[in-house]
Structure 1
Amino acid sequence: MTSSLPTGLRERKKAKTRAAIRAHAMRLFDEQGYAATTVDQIAEAADVSQSTFFRYFPTKEDVVLADDYDPPMVAALRAQPADVHPIEAIRRSIREIYDQLTPDEWEQERRRQRLIRSVPELQARNTQQYTQIIGLLGAAVAERAGLPPDDFSARVLAGAVIGAGLAVAPHSLLPEQGTDYFTDFERALALIEAGFPLG
């Protein structure tokens, strides 16, 4: 039977359920540790069935690792004017998405990053995901330039950008560092544009 909910309402309800599952999961991870928290406990706390949990997150790891910001960032990149340099287009698209985050959403992202760095299995899978992210970003860069989606130069540029983000994140996503992520990230992108001068 087809749902009678309008598409917009249905999507909002799905987004609300997904956010609730993640919020309860992160609370439980904080309270009792990642390893000690089970899918059943998360589902019970979020008042959903186990099957509903798995519709939103294939594994417990995905509750932490799923990055909701990558798809809209890539879409924003594709929407940038074709005559804008790819590094500037990436800078604009990242700003466009992340400038919309509230302080609470930023704190949730910092919590997510801290958890990833503290759990070896999350670190391992997170590293594997970067290959996919580089592929998505590289294909978008290539598309803007009228190149094949697997273009070598576009993929290398995407890898350099993701590498810059990785280099910056430990110093700016953690609150004790006291630095601004985008200020540092834009400095890193400027180094790529300038051909990596040292100093």
Structure 2
Amino acid sequence: MSGNGQAPARNPGLRERKKARTRADLQRHALRLFRDRGWEATTVDDIAAAAEVSRSTFFRYFATKEQVLLHDEVDPLMAEAIAAQPPGTPLLTALRRGVHEAFSSLSDEARELEEVRMELGRTVPELATAAGRHYTVAGLAEPLAHWLGRSPDDPELVVFCGVLVGGRLAAQRMAERDGIAYIDALDSVYSRLEDGIPLADTPIPAGGS
């Protein structure tokens, strides 16, 4: 669940569903091109041509090429899966299950392209800055506070969101180091955190290092 991720409050109408399909189709073709040609080598015209739409149609859905990367099709799926967890489920467990269920619902290609999107969001400087705004403590605290009926400034919620942000950074490093999918690394991190913060209770050695 990102800073703007919340479960839909209503079922969209036909027009909204058609727009959503067009937006998703544009992003899918864009991600394929980014994967095969690279970010810099892919233009808006390339994306429009691959999706068989006009350049003006592209700009009705995305103001820039960068916005194609920042648009998150999976986040609403995660929000729905998290909200659907049984009452009484521990919060971190609900988040972990929600992430797992959302990504498990994707086709193999959709999951691969989502990994492409997330990797570019981490490695392209101008994208990393924009994407990072969604994964701050404040960005995560707002939707969780609304869901839990707490204040976004609740100290316990702020600390919890800080742990989530740190977990994402740890997952990025694990994915890069071990050559595994980021989402699998994130699941591993959340699994460890379910047992408590690693090393938090470990006594420090006598006499220092």
Q: TM-score range by the shorter chain?
A: 0.7 to 0.9
Alpha-carbon offset, residue 100 of structure 1:
0.7
Alpha-carbon offset, residue 178 of structure 1:
4.4
Q: Which residue of 1 aligns with 2:157?
A: 154
Do the aligned partners of residues 186 and 35 (structure 1) sit closer, same or farther apart at CA in structure 2, a change above 3 Å counting?
closer
Alpha-carbon offset, residue 108 of structure 1:
0.9
Q: Is the aligned partner of 1:142 residue 2:141?
A: no
Q: Which residue of 2 aligns with 1:4?
A: none
Alpha-carbon offset, residue 110 of structure 1:
2.1
Q: Is the aligned partner of 1:70 residue 2:105?
A: no
Q: Which runs of 5+ in 2 are unaligned?
A: 1-11, 203-209
Q: Is the aligned partner of 1:43 residue 2:44?
A: no
The residue identity in structure 2 corresponding to 1:146 is G
What SS does the aligned partner of 1:89 have? helix
Q: Is the aligned partner of 1:167 residue 2:158?
A: no
Q: Is the 8 A contact 1:139 1:155 kept in 2?
A: no
Q: Quick one: percent identity of the two aligned structures? A: 40
Q: Is the 8 A contact 2:172 2:182 kept in 1?
A: no
Q: Which residue of 1 aligns with 2:197?
A: 195
More helix by share: 1
Q: Which residue of 1 aligns with 2:19?
A: 14
Q: Which residue of 2 aligns with 1:94?
A: 99
Q: Which residue of 1 aligns with 2:119?
A: 114
Q: Is the 8 A contact 2:142 2:152 kept in 1?
A: yes
TM-score scaled to structure 2, two decimals? 0.71
Q: Name the Cα RMSD after superposition.
A: 3.0
User: Number of matched residues?
Assistant: 188
Alpha-carbon offset, residue 61 of structure 1:
0.5
* Mapping of residues 42-61 of structure 1, within 5 Å: 42-61=47-66
